[in-house]
Amino acid sequence: MKPKKSPVIRVIGFLALIFIGATLVLGLKITPPDAIQGQMVRIIYIHPPLAWVAFLAYGTTAIASGLYLWKRTRARIWDQLSGASAEVGVVFTGLTLVTGSIWGRPTWGVWWTWDPLLTATALLFVLYLGYLALRKLPGDINQRSKRSAIAALIAFIDVPIVQMSVLWWHSLHQKPTVFNPGQPAQIHGIMADTLLIGFIAFTLVWLWLLFTRLGVIKLEEKIELYGLEVALRERRGEVNKDLVETSQDSHSKTSLSTSSKQGPDSQVLVQK
């Protein structure tokens, strides 16, 4: 069984490819090197968009979990969406940590530093890995979904702490450049445009991955549901077959014993 892809998902995928291509061309070829960071600035065109998508994914997981927990809106789709978004979020958090580490080595001189924002992002990564582990546990699907939804909401409390930690603690990390309320944007021209295109590109990638994964989760649940149903039917079939065979055996045995006791006339009757 292949997941059906709607034309909208195909269009999103196509647009994502175009924007990723544009980010690559602009980021690697057209934009100039930074006055201080040199060529290392190029990783900035993908690092903040990756982090943004991770937060977007966790936000979606939290909202979908809330909708699943609320009795009026409770539906399987919210749980499925929550799981799909968290999976994509974990991948993007991992990529954020990797790209940050690659940038940190030449800039700070170390692959990893115990900067609060880095540490909190790593914690977020582990926290959502725990959430995904909870989702994968065997057992009643509704019980698991409800618990996962509660865990997702609690985990989401950590997200604003990650966001605010850069301001709460004295940090080595770069302060927000574009979305800094106390400071006007300090990034200009083609560099700002490339960063914006990067944000759009990775948001589209997230949407495409989210809907594709959602389709796969729906199919997995169908397999789980129908797989069990087929197994039950087969089992019932076996039981019926056994019963039929047993009843046929006992019937023929009874007939034979009766016929042997009553003689040739009664044997004719049994055959009739």
Partner 1 sequence: MLHDALLIIRKDLKIEFRSKVTTNQVAPMAIVILILFAFALDTHQHKLILAAPGLFWVAVLFSMSLAIHRSFSIETSSSTRDGLRLLGLDPGGIFLGKVIVLTIEMFVLEIILGFGIVVLYSATLHNYFLLISITILSTLGLAAAGTIFGSLASSFKTKDTLLPLLFLPISAPVLLSATKAFQTELGTVIGSSHPWIRILGVFAVVYLTVGVLAFGPLLEEQ
Residues that bind partner 1 (CB under 8 A): 69, 120, 123, 126-127, 129-131, 133-134, 137, 139, 142-143, 146-147, 150-151, 153-155, 157-158, 161, 168
Cβ at position 4, least distance to partner 1 in Å: 32
Q: How far apart are the first and last CA of the chain?
A: 51
Cβ at position 199, least distance to partner 1 in Å: 28
Q: Could you give the 3-state DSSP secondary structure of residue 34?
A: strand
Nearer to partner 1 by C-beta: 143 or 260? 143
Give dist(CA 130, CA 139) in Å, integer. Answer: 17
Nearer to partner 1 by C-beta: 133 or 223? 133
Distance of CA 35 to CAs 38, 41, 220, 255, Å?
6, 9, 51, 102
One-letter amino acid at 62 equals: A
Nearer to partner 1 by C-beta: 151 or 201? 151
Q: Pinpoint the alpha helices (H) of 110-188.
A: 116-135, 141-168
Give dist(CA 218, CA 182) in Å, integer. Answer: 45
Nearer to partner 1 by C-beta: 65 or 85? 65
Cβ at position 129, least distance to partner 1 in Å: 8
Q: What contacts 217, CB < 8 A, 6 or more positions away? A: 80, 83, 84
Distance of CA 208 to CAs 8, 132, 197, 211, 247, Å?
9, 20, 16, 5, 58
Give dist(CA 166, CA 169) in Å, integer. Answer: 6
Nearer to partner 1 by C-beta: 144 or 203? 144
Cβ at position 146, least distance to partner 1 in Å: 6
Nearer to partner 1 by C-beta: 17 or 129? 129
Instruction: Give, as one character, the DSSP assignment of residue 74.
Output: -
E strand intervals along the chain: none
Cβ at position 154, least distance to partner 1 in Å: 6
Cβ at position 93, least distance to partner 1 in Å: 12
